[in-house]
Each structure stands twice: as C-alpha cells, then as structure tokens.
C-alpha cells in the first residue's frame, strides 16, 4: 500500500493558532499517513515549526483538533502528552546535546532516564544507535569537536533510543554543506523504508524535498495551500506554488496579511 493510502496516522483539523493576537494558523487541515515522509514547506513565519510542535504539546492550539493514531490529543494535559512523546521523537534544527558529555553519553541519557538501563547497558545500546547514523567512530567525542551535520545525526541517534513511530524534523539540513545535508536525507529515507518510521520534515531545502519526500504540504497564509507529490508541486500551474519553488522575490506571495 502506498504512503498515505491507509487511514491517517496524524490529522490536523481546522487548526487555528495566534500569537499576541496575530494569526499564524488559520484553519489548517493536514493528514500524514503511516510510514510516509511528509515535508512541510513555506516561507519563514508561516507556521511550519508551530505546526509540528502542536503534535507533542510544546504549543497548544487555539481551536481545532489534532488526532494521533485515532485518538484526539490536543486536549491532553501535560501528563497525557508523555505517552505521545514516547511515540513521537523530535530533532531540532540546533541539536540539543549536552556539551559536557561525549556522544555516547548523550545518546545513552534517555536510555538511563526513561528505560532505566544501567550505565554499561545504556552505553552499549547507544553505540548501536550511533552505528545507525554512521557515527560509531566518534562515540568518545564531545559535541564541540564535531560538525553541525554530525551533531544533527547524534541528536537523531538519541531520538531513536526511544524507538519512535514518528520523528519530527525541524529544518534538519539548514546551515549544512551539501554533503552533510544529503547524508541527513539518506538517514531520513532509511528510517522510513527500513524501520517504517513516519517522518514529518519542516524544510526549505528543495534538494531534500524533491529527492526523498513522498508528499509535500505547502503552507500559505495559515493554511495548506497545496499538497501532493514532489512532482505534482513542481509541475503545479499555481503561481503561488511556483513563486516559492523558483525563489521569486515578488508576486502574489506578498499579499498583505501573509
């Protein structure tokens, strides 16, 4: 069955969110199928990162509904979100690693905290996770000794220790050189194809979008303006979609209130 053909794993239904009275999401609807790689794209400030943070309760919607695996989650309290966060991992743009710990110790931390593994067992499993992201030879290094791309991969390894069903990526390739950016792309693809992990990726990186996405959701003026395969968006006759893809600086995207 192709991605997105089954019942949606994640659903956003008429979601609204404003900050200080300024609307960001204005009735956004979006579904994510189990096992698919969905990219969320759009200009800065359109609500891409805001969208994924709602799923794990880092932000709360104003109105609307969010469903995960057939259950409504937007009304959960903080304790209720713990169960969601055990199934949904998140990799931020700036890898949140502890500078005083080696990579192996960083990756072992959630294993000790949440799975209650002893130090030796946690480190052994951490090494396996670092192998998944091709960082075995750097396990004793500290974050400051590594490139941005390596830190991102280490953050992903740490996320994988909780065996997530979904991983949310917030601008994972921003600031990386093309070689490291494509390494991150390959890891996202491997997670989906080999482990069945659902990936929701916030990104501006067109190379990533057109090489690994199953579907792409284009946010505009607080709503999903267009959604489809990379080829469908690339060939879309919609001038707003084409303006974004072609990187034009003027045109319909400058509509007041955007």
CA distance 183 to 178: 9
CA distances to 18, 179, 229 from 40, in Å: 19, 22, 12
What pLDDT is attached to residue 1?
A: 39
What pLDDT is attached to residue 253?
A: 56
CA distance 168 to 201: 6
CA distance 28 to 26: 6
Name the token pair of 106: 């960083």
CA distance 156 to 90: 8
Is the separation of the CB atoms in 53 and 85 below 8 Å?
no
CA distances to 38, 162, 228 from 215, in Å: 5, 26, 5
Which pTM value belongs to this model? 0.89
H-helix or E-strand containing 55?
helix 48-55
CA distance 172 to 205: 9
Report the 10 Å Cβ neighbour count for 105. Answer: 19
The strand pair at 198-202 and 37-41 is best described as parallel
Ranges of residues in the chain whose predicted pLDDT is under 70: 1-6, 94-95, 249-258
Is the separation of the CB atoms in 220 and 42 below 8 Å?
yes
What pLDDT is attached to residue 256?
A: 39
What pLDDT is attached to residue 183?
A: 92
CA distance 68 to 70: 5
- Fold designation for 9-98+167-250: Rossmann fold (3.40.50)
10-66 residue pLDDT tens:
999 999 999 999 999 999 999 999 999 999 999 988 999 999 999 999 999 999 999
Tokens 């499993």 map to which residue?
Answer: 125
């Amino acid at each position: 069955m192709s991605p997105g053909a089954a019942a949606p794993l994640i659903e956003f239904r008429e979601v609204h969110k404003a900050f200080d009275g300024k609307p960001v999401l204005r009735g956004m609807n979006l579904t994510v199928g189990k096992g698919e790689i969905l990219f969320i794209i759009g200009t800065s400030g359109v609500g891409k990162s805001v969208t994924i943070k709602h799923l794990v309760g880092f932000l709360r919607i104003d109105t609307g509904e969010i469903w995960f695996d057939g259950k409504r989650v937007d009304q959960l309290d903080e304790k209720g979100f713990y169960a969601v966060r055990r199934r949904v991992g998140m990799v931020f743009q700036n890898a949140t690693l502890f500078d005083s710990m080696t990579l192996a110790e960083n990756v072992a931390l959630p294993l000790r905290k949440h799975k209650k593994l002893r130090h030796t067992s946690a480190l052994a499993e951490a090494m396996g996770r670092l192998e998944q992201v091709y960082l075995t030879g750097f396990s004793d290094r500290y974050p400051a000794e590594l490139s941005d791309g390596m830190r991102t991969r280490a953050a992903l390894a740490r996320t994988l220790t909780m065996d997530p069903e979904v991983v949310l990526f917030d601008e994972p390739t921003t600031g990386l050189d093309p070689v490291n950016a494509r390494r991150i792309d390959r890891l996202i693809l491997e997670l989906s194809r080999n482990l069945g992990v659902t990936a929701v990726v916030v990104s501006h990186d067109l190379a990533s979008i057109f090489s690994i996405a199953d579907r792409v959701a284009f946010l505009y003026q607080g709503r999903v303006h267009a959604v489809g395969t990379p080829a469908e968006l690339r060939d879309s006759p919609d001038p707003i979609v084409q303006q974004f893809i072609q990187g034009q600086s003027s045109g319909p995207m400058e509509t007041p209130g955007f």
